[in-house]
């Protein structure tokens, strides 16, 4: 019986977190009692944690973790390491803004034994032209630096085996803000069996996106330096 840990980082998601927990807890409860939905609060300043604590009594497979704010990438690393420490057979990651659809998880799960990782490819994107442009630029940068052609490297909708994740997680810098991107690069560059499946990507369902264009440019500049450093290790 495969044990699944769903990892979801959250930062100031009071508007969406209850719905997200309801939808994704349904997934783990359908699988088996050993699977868990893990929400990691990244130092939210709103009442996200209070809402989560109120929800916990109704969702027995929900785990709530809290930590000081350190950004999305570091929070993903925290969640991934937690899942591995608890011997998860498979780890699935999505975000807490309600842009993904829980029912689209099941085609990923049914193919889990055939691939090292299955990653969503955002075919139906409704999150704005600037995000679509960033994804296209990122694809070009990864092709230039790492010589890998990845259709959607940063999708927050991915299933990976615990064995595969353990092979690469320690290679990612602790403060790296683009954890999923570099994890995808490692998987593709090392010729792991990776499949990309199309998914729907809705507009943000509430709250305010903490990543604006100015932050994207700042993160991108640092990422370029980090990419060149990581390239030396691959």
Looking only at the bridges linking them, the beta strands covering 62-67 and 117-125 are unpaired
What's the pTM?
Answer: 0.89
Give the number of other CB atoms < 10 A from CB of residue 151: 14
pLDDT tens string for the chain (234 positions)?
999 999 999 999 999 999 999 999 999 999 999 999 999 999 999 999 999 999 999 999 999 999 999 999 999 999 999 999 999 999 999 999 999 999 999 999 999 999 999 999 987 655 555 566 677 788 888 999 999 999 999 999 999 999 999 999 999 988 888 999 999 999 999 999 999 999 998 876 555 555 555 655 555 566 777 787 777 777
Tell me how far apart the alpha carbons of residues 6 and 31 are, in angstroms, rounded to a whole number.
12
Q: For position 175, what pLDDT does the model report?
A: 80
User: How many Cα atoms occupy the beta-carbon half-sphere of 190 within 13 Å?
Assistant: 17
Q: For position 229, what pLDDT does the model report?
A: 76
Tell me how far apart the alpha carbons of residues 95 and 117 are, in angstroms, rounded to a whole number.
18
The three-state secondary structure class of 202 is coil
Contact 40, 65 (CB under 8 A): yes
How distant, in Å, are the alpha carbons of 139, 145, 156 from that of 148? 9, 8, 19
Q: For position 206, what pLDDT does the model report?
A: 57
Q: For position 202, what pLDDT does the model report?
A: 85
Q: For position 2, what pLDDT does the model report?
A: 97
Tell me how far apart the alpha carbons of residues 43 and 96 are, in angstroms, rounded to a whole number.
14
Tell me how far apart the alpha carbons of residues 218 and 213 are, in angstroms, rounded to a whole number.
9
- Locate the domains of the chain by residue range: 4-231
How distant, in Å, are the alpha carbons of 188, 211, 227 from that of 39? 27, 20, 28
The tokens describing 88, both together, are 């998860």
Could you tell me which CATH number the domain at 4-231 has?
3.90.550.10
């Amino acid at each position: 019986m495969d044990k699944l840990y769903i990892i979801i980082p959250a930062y100031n998601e009071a508007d969406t977190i209850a719905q997200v927990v309801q939808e994704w807890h349904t997934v783990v409860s359908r699988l088996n009692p050993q699977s868990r939905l893990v929400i990691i609060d990244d130092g939210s300043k709103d009442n996200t944690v209070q809402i989560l604590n109120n929800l916990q009594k109704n969702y027995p497979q929900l785990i709530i973790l809290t930590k000081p704010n350190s950004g999305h990438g570091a929070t993903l690393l925290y969640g991934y390491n937690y899942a591995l420490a608890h011997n998860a057979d498979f780890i699935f990651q999505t975000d807490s803004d309600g842009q993904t659809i829980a029912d689209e998880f099941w085609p990923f799960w049914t193919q889990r034994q055939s691939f090292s990782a299955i990653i969503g490819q955002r075919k139906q994107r409704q999150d704005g032209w600037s995000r679509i442009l960033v994804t296209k630029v990122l694809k070009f940068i990864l092709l230039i630096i790492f010589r890998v052609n990845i259709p959607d490297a940063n999708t927050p909708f991915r299933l990976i085996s615990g064995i595969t994740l353990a092979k690469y997680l320690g290679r990612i810098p602790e403060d790296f803000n683009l954890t999923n991107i570099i994890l995808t690069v490692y998987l593709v560059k090392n010729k792991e069996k990776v499949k990309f499946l199309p998914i729907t990507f809705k507009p943000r369902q509430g709250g305010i996106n903490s990543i604006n264009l100015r932050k994207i440019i700042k993160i991108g500049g640092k990422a370029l330096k980090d990419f060149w450093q990581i390239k030396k290790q691959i």
